[in-house]
Structure 1
Amino acid sequence: MSGIKVHYFDFRGRGEIVRLVLALAGQDFEDVRLSREEWAAKYKSAAPFGQMPYVEYKGKKYGQSKAISAFFANEFGLYGKSNLDRLRIDEVVFLVEDLFMIIVKAFLEQDDTKKAELVKKAVDDEFPKFCGFFCRLLRENSPKGVFVGREVTLADLCVHDLMYTILKTHQYDAAAKYPELQALKEKVEAHPRLQTYLANRKETPF
């Protein structure tokens, strides 16, 4: 065992990208999935910033999902081969974060009318806009099917996870609508380590 522990709730959310990076890197890790009650009673006070996900690695605890996933991607060779590669990867990661926050805003809205408006705007306007951004960046690295180089990196994992989320939560099949995203999906899911991980991970609504 690598000694890596990933602490998060029992769903994908912000913890899944950390799990995906470790799975692609072939790193064994302890997937600690907590109920809200367990988190509040025992783990929150021990977390680096009182939030999840956080990881335990080499005897220390580290927080912030983007920082953790970027560290492990860099540590295990999934962060490109040059500073320009890493710039492109970071562009994609933060675009994903921008769209994720739009999804979260609609998810958390308590007013049903406002929620419906936010969801409609996301599906009609934001999803196509961001998918267009991703497709343009993928075409710049054509015909590799990934954002940089020839192999799957953190950027590809982030977009794949986002596509899965919007399919599950909004029935928006980005891969079916955009050939570039379909190629990325196939590239990610063809990787033997990811095939195994995706086939065996627990299914959750979000």
Structure 2
Amino acid sequence: MPNYKYVYFNVRGRGEIVRLCFHAAGVKFEEVRIEMSAWPGTIRGTSPFGQLPYLEIDGKKFAQSIAISQYIAREYGLYGNNSLENLSIDAVVGLTTDYFNLWAKANFEKDERRKAELQTKLSGEDLPKFLQQLEKLLNGNKTEYFVGNKLTLADLAVYSTLENPFRDFPDMCSKYPQVVNNRKKVGSQPRLAAYLSSRKPTEL
């Protein structure tokens, strides 16, 4: 097995999906968590594309959290059984990325007036639409998973993306029983449950 070293900030953010993939697959990896204050220094200059996260595989660095998670999924059984299932999984991952980008824009906008507008739109339009799309996918698949009949990258991407919505808007999220059930199913996977119960809570 390759030697893995994963480097990301000490938050969940865009990089948590990779941690979830590693733990779900039961694959050992070295984890390095970087404090924000340390980022402008030498670490930034040595990272691919000047970004975090990155994954070192036997000393070679690779960037982009989605690309990394897709690699882990392909290598360790978190993709589908055929190309069409893999296409469906990637579509769900893309959907989660779309929502996360809206969330990030609403939370990191510097203009306070514009920020308030974006957050109102996020909770009133964007999040309900996202949850409705997820509920429809689960109702259509009828296995409690998003694609096929096993845990895949699609489920892990949704789990990661919904961490803040389930914390910040629990009443809204509870209106989508299939989404709630999928989240419970994913979080109760033994390897994931062990990680989720032991990780340090972070705001983001």
TM, length-normalised to structure 1 = 0.94
Is this contact kept in 2: 1:160–1:188, CA < 8 A? yes
In the alignment, the residues of structure 2 paired with residue 58 and residue 113 of structure 1 have an alpha-carbon distance, to the nearest angstrom, of 47
1:123-171 deviations in Å (ceiling 9; x for gaps): 01111111111111111110x1111122111100111111112233x43
Note the aligned Cα RMSD (angstroms): 1.4
Is this contact kept in 2: 1:2–1:27, CA < 8 A? no
Which residue of 2 is the match for residue 26 of structure 1? 26
Specify the code of the residue in structure 1 equivalent to 2:195: Y
SS at match of 1:138: helix
Q: Which ranges of structure 2 fall in alignment gaps of 5 or more residues?
A: none
In the alignment, the residues of structure 1 paired with residue 99 and residue 36 of structure 2 have an alpha-carbon distance, to the nearest angstrom, of 25
Which residue of 1 is the match for residue 197 of structure 2? 199
Q: Which runs of 4+ in 1 moved over 4 A?
A: 172-175
In the alignment, the residues of structure 2 paired with residue 173 and residue 83 of structure 1 have an alpha-carbon distance, to the nearest angstrom, of 37
Which residue of 2 is the match for residue 145 of structure 1? 144
Specify the code of the residue in structure 1 equivalent to 2:106: A
Answering whether residue 11 of structure 2 is matched by residue 11 of structure 1, we say yes
TM, length-normalised to structure 2 = 0.95
In the alignment, the residues of structure 2 paired with residue 40 and residue 185 of structure 1 have an alpha-carbon distance, to the nearest angstrom, of 36
Give the 5 Å matches for 1:108-187.
Answer: 108-142=108-142, 144-168=143-167, 170-173=168-171, 175-187=173-185
1:99-123 deviations in Å (ceiling 9; x for gaps): 1111111111122221111111110
Corresponding residue pairs, total: 204
Is this contact kept in 1: 2:155–2:186, CA < 8 A? yes
1:5-40 deviations in Å (ceiling 9; x for gaps): 111111000110000000000011111001123222
Answering whether residue 57 of structure 2 is matched by residue 57 of structure 1, we say yes
Is this contact kept in 1: 2:166–2:173, CA < 8 A? no
Is this contact kept in 2: 1:146–1:184, CA < 8 A? yes
Specify the code of the residue in structure 2 equivalent to 1:160: Y
Q: Which ranges of structure 1 fall in alignment gaps of 5 or more residues?
A: none
